[in-house]
C-alpha cells in the first residue's frame, strides 16, 4: 500500500518522512491556503524534496474549465516532471481534462470522489488514481470502505490500471479496513501516522523492559556488553 501525507507544510512533511516510509505528499487548494504567503517559495522546495526522496507530489488544479485545467497541469508537469500527480476534480470539466492530460503524459488523480460511479468513469477516462473521501461518504449515510471495495473490484473487472487512493480519514480503523479490501494507497495527516503505530500495550511492555533493565544494569546499554 502506498502512503502519502496530506499536508503542505514542508517541515511537517520532512518530519513524517524521517520516521515513516512515505511515497509522497498530497495537497488540495484548502490545504495550500494554510501556507498563504509562502507558496511561491515552497514550490521549488517541494521539487527538491521530491527529487531527493524520489517521491510523488500531488497538486490540484484551480481552474474551472478543462482547457485551463490542462494548461495548469502542463505547467506543473514541466516543473515537477515525473514526480507530479495532478489532481482533477470529479466534475464534468474535470472528466474532460483527464483525457487531455493523459494525452500529454501527465499522471492524473481524480479527486473529491464520493461514489463508485464517479470512480468508474474516472478509471475509464484513464485516471491513474481516484481519491474517494472516506469520511465524507460515511457522513452521507453510505459506507466509505464498501465504496472502495467496489471500486477495487470494478477496476479489476474492467481491466483499468487505476489505483484507489483513500482520503479523508477520521479513524485508524478506516485505514485498517481499506487495506483488507485491496485499496492501493491512502493519504493521511501526520497525526494519523502516529495513531496507526501507537498502542498502549506496546507502551506498557516498553515501560516494563525499561524498569527491569535499569534495576539490573543501571545506566549500562546493550552495546556496552559488546566487545570493541
Ligand atoms: C485528499 O487529498 C484531501 O486533501 C483530504 O483527504 C480531504 O480531507 P478532508 O476534507 O476530510 O479534510
Q: With contact defined as beta carbons under 8 Å apart, do 94 and 110 qualify?
A: yes
Domain assignment present for 221: no
Q: How far is the CA of 80 from the centre of ligand 1 (A)?
A: 22
For ligand 1, whether the C-beta of 131 sits within 6 Å is: yes
pLDDT of residue 145: 96
Active-site residue, 211 included? no
Answer yes or no: is 213 within a domain. no
Q: Residue 186 is part of a domain; what is its CATH number?
A: 3.20.20.70
Average pLDDT, the chain: 97
Record the pTM.
0.96
| Assigned domain for 7 exists | yes
User: How far apart are alpha carbons 40 and 54 in whole angstroms?
Assistant: 22
Give domain status of residue 225, yes or no.
no
Q: Does residue 56 form part of some domain?
A: yes
What is residue 54's predicted lDDT score, i.e. its pLDDT?
Answer: 98
Assigned domain for 220 exists: no
Is the CB of residue 60 below 6 angstroms from any atom belonging to ligand 1? no
Instruction: Give per-residue pLDDT as tens, 20-75.
Output: 999 999 999 999 999 999 999 999 999 999 999 999 999 999 999 999 999 999 99
| Spatial CB neighbours of 45, under 8 Å, sequence gap ≥ 6 | 10
Domain, as residue range, for 160: 2-201
What would the DSSP string read from start to end of 128-176?
SEEEEBHHHHHHTTS-HHHHHHHHHHHHHHHT---EEEEB--S-HHHHH
C-alpha neighbours within 13 Å on the C-beta side of residue 30 = 2
The cell for 23 is: 511515497
Identify whether 223 is part of a domain. no
Q: Which atom belonging to ligand 1 lies closest to the Cα atom of 170? A: 11
Percentage above 70 pLDDT, the chain = 100
Amino acid at each position: 500500500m502506498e502512503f502519502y501525507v496530506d499536508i503542505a507544510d514542508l517541515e511537517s512533511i520532512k518530519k513524517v518522512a524521517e520516521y515513516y516510509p512515505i511515497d509522497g505528499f498530497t495537497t488540495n487548494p484548502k490545504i495550500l491556503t494554510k501556507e498563504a504567503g509562502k507558496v511561491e517559495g515552497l514550490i521549488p522546495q517541494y521539487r527538491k524534496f521530491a527529487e531527493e526522496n524520489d517521491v510523488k507530489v500531488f497538486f490540484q488544479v484551480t481552474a474551472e474549465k478543462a482547457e485551463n485545467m490542462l494548461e495548469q497541469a502542463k505547467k506543473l508537469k514541466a516543473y515537477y516532471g515525473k514526480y507530479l500527480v495532478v489532481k482533477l476534480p470529479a466534475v464534468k470539466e474535470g472528466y474532460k481534462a483527464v483525457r487531455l492530460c493523459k494525452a500529454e503524459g501527465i499522471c492524473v488523480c481524480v479527486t473529491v470522489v464520493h461514489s463508485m460511479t464517479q470512480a468508474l468513469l474516472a478509471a475509464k477516462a484513464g485516471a491513474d488514481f481516484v481519491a474517494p473521501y472516506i469520511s465524507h461518504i460515511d457522513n452521507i449515510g453510505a459506507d466509505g470502505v464498501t465504496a472502495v471495495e467496489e471500486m477495487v473490484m470494478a477496476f479489476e473487472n474492467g481491466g483499468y490500471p487505476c489505483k484507489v487512493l483513500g482520503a479523508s480519514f477520521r479513524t485508524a480503523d478506516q485505514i485498517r479496513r481499506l487495506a483488507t479490501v485491496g485499496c492501493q494507497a491512502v493519504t493521511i495527516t501526520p497525526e494519523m501516522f502516529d495513531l496507526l503505530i501507537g498502542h498502549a500495550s506496546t507502551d506498557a511492555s516498553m515501560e516494563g523492559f525499561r524498569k527491569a533493565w535499569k534495576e539490573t544494569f543501571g545506566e549500562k546499554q546493550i552495546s556496552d556488553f559488546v566487545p570493541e
